[in-house]
Structures are given as structure tokens and as C-alpha cells.
Amino acid sequence: MLPASRRINDGSLSTRWEYQGHEADRGATGRRVLEFLAAPRQLMPYPLGGHARKYGHTRMLDQAQRLRDLVNRPRHLHVLVPDTPRWNEVCSAMDTIDDTGAALDAYEQLEPPSTKGGCYLTIYGALQVLYVQQDALKSLASALGHDYDPDPELVRIRRIRNVAVGHPTRTRSGSSSILVQHSLSHRHFELFEYLPNGGLNTSTISIPNLIARQRSLIGTILDSVSQRLVDEELAHRRRFRDAPLLAGFTQLPYAFEKLGEGTRSDSPTPIASWGLKHVRSVLEAFQQGLRDRGLDSYDVFRYDIPPIEDAIRRLEIELGAGGDRALAEILRYYLRQKFRELERLARETDEEYSSDEV
């Protein structure tokens, strides 16, 4: 996941925190900005990373959220979370794609700066955000095992950033560049690139056009990564469709019936011992079935199964010679209710695995 400010520490689901409150209106005066900063705010959590509000509601952020939802499925968490550096990279990349998307949406809502310095700051910032967003996409694709071959237009956008604001004094090729000041606005500028051989390249750069094109291209790549995860998920489900979890529960009613005979008998009965053995074997098979499916992160392993195992061990004692039969009946009733819950989980899991909808 992310650094502590953006995650919980148990390696399950990323929980990010952000201030929510009044927003300064576009073009706010200094007084209104101060009022905004002084306004009360509430610290609000929102799960699984991503922005609580999608600035501009861009399609790219919807595509990023779709990928985030796929990554946060239990089976993918089972693979990713134990590999801490890889998991941290995935979460950082997903959040950075969202964050840079919000920054670019905010850029598009800016009023023109009143000074040339403001134009320079805006241009430098927007181009750097585009660059960081590409870096995040590359990291995300790599961490998820997806081949990343950037579109030539993404490479061109990256080069514009390098030449114009990243390394304007000297690039690796030996060129030097300037932003032509009289052409400057917070949206467009003329770029002069002086080549080592004495030549001159001139170009007109439109930052809104770069943003629009990068959004489209990154969205396409996010869709491709998502589709790969969907294909992998469907292939995984098909492996288990002929081995439903629910099949292991068919004889449970009979087993609990025989356990009931044991709780009403003053002495141990072989049929009750068989019933308890069958209950234990159903639990073990259910756990193994979830593990085989990569669903070890289900809460049932942490909160439900341990007390069930304790109850089975105690019931075995109370069904023995000299055991407390009243307590044995209470334990039998408790286990029957808990196994009904497990049976519902098995049914839900089987229904999910029988579906081609991801």
C-alpha cells in the first residue's frame, strides 16, 4: 500500500484520508482564500484509494477506478500483498494516476495568471504533472506484469517536458531550449530548441491538447491492463467450476442430526463421533477450497474459523465419558449456525465462479 498517511498497516485494503470542506471559488480574491483556509473541515476516510470526488469526472479516472477495483479483489490481494515492494508500487502508482488526473483537471479550471511568472509556474507544473502521470502508468503496468510499450505520442509529450522545462539548458542530445516569453500564456507557448549542429527547431505547444491526448492514450492502456486482469480472472474461475465448494456441505444436516443423538446420550456413541469427524472434515475441505482459489484474505479465516475450531475441540471433550451434555448441545447448536454461514459463503463464492461477469 502507501506510506502510513495513506494506508492501514495490516496489508488488506488501502484507506486514504483527505480534507473535505468548502472549496475556494475559481478566481477567488485573497480575502476569500483566507476565508476558505479558515473554514472548518472534517477529516473523512474513503476506502480503496482514489478520489472521493472525481474532478471533472474524466473518463480516464473512471478507467483508473475500474482497474483499482480489479486489483482490490481478494484473489489479487492474495498474490500482491505478501510482496511488499510490489504492492507498495501498485498502490503508489494507482494513487498517483488519480492525483495527477485531479491536478490536470484543476489546471483546466484555472483563471489566467496575472503575471508572466504565474504563466511560467503553471506551464512548468502542468508539464511535470504529465510526466509524473506517465511514470506512474509505467510503474503500474510493470508491477501488474503488463508489457508497457508507450505510444509515440506519449513519448513526444515526455520529450516536450524534457526539452521545455525538464532540462532546457542542455539535453542528452546537446540541444538547449527557451520558452519564447512574448508568446507565453498559461495554455500555450512557443518553444525554440537550439540544436548542436546550429539548427533551430520551433514549435507551438498547446498544453490543453497535450492533456487531452494523454488522457485518451493512458485510458486505452488502463483498459488494456484491466482486460488482462479480467481474462486472468475468468480463466481462474473456469478451473474451479467443476469443483463447487457447496458440494462439501451436502451431508452436514445428517452429521448434525447424529451429533444431536450424542448430546442426548449419557454415554459416548460411535455415530456422534462420526458426525463430529465429518463436521471437522467439511471445515478443513472448505478452508482448502478457499486457499486453492487464492481467497486466503477472506475475513472468515481471521474471525470465523478459529472459534469454530475451538468449539469443535470442546464439543469432542463434552461428548466423551463424563462430559457435560447440556454444554455439548449448546456447542452443537452454535456450530450448526456457524456452518450455515459458511454454507452461504460457499454458495456466494460458487455463484461468482460460475459467472463470466467481472
Question: H helices then E strands: how many in the chain?
Answer: 11, 5
Residue 248's Cβ-count burial label (10 Å; 0-12, 13-18, 19+) is buried
Give the start-to-end residue ranges of the domains of the chain: 54-236, 243-354
Nearest to 91 by CA among 189, 12, 203: 12
pLDDT at 53: 40
**How confident is residue 15, by pLDDT bands cut at 50, 70 and 90?**
very low
Q: How far apart are CA 66 and CA 140, in angstroms?
A: 14
* Digit-coded pLDDT (tens) for 43-55: 322 233 444 344 4
Residue 169's Cβ-count burial label (10 Å; 0-12, 13-18, 19+) is exposed
Instruction: Return phi, psi of residue 261, to 5°.
Output: -60, -35
Alpha-carbon torsion angle 65, 66, 67, 72, nearest 10: 80
pLDDT at 58: 64
pLDDT at 138: 95
Looking at the predicted structure, is the pLDDT value of residue 4 above 50? Answer: no
Amino acid at 163: V
Between the alpha carbon of residue 215 and those of residues 98, 101, 128, 157, 225, the distances in Å are: 12, 8, 15, 12, 15
Looking at the predicted structure, is the pLDDT value of residue 192 above 70? Answer: yes
* Digit-coded pLDDT (tens) for 195-204: 999 999 999 9
Q: How far apart are CA 208 and CA 211, in angstroms?
A: 5
Q: In CATH, what number does 243-354 get?
A: 1.20.120
Looking at the predicted structure, is the pLDDT value of residue 335 above 70? Answer: yes
Between the alpha carbon of residue 237 and those of residues 76, 162, 182, 244, the distances in Å are: 13, 45, 61, 11
**How confident is residue 38, by pLDDT bands cut at 50, 70 and 90?**
very low
Roughly how many angstroms between the first and final C-alpha of the chain, as a whole number? 23
Question: What is the pTM (predicted TM-score) of this model?
Answer: 0.73
Distance of alpha carbon 307 from its chain centroid, rounded?
Answer: 30
- Mean pLDDT, range 284-301, rounded to an integer: 92
Looking at the predicted structure, is the pLDDT value of residue 11 above 60? Answer: no
- Mean pLDDT, range 203-214, rounded to an integer: 95
Contact 219, 60 (CB under 8 A): yes
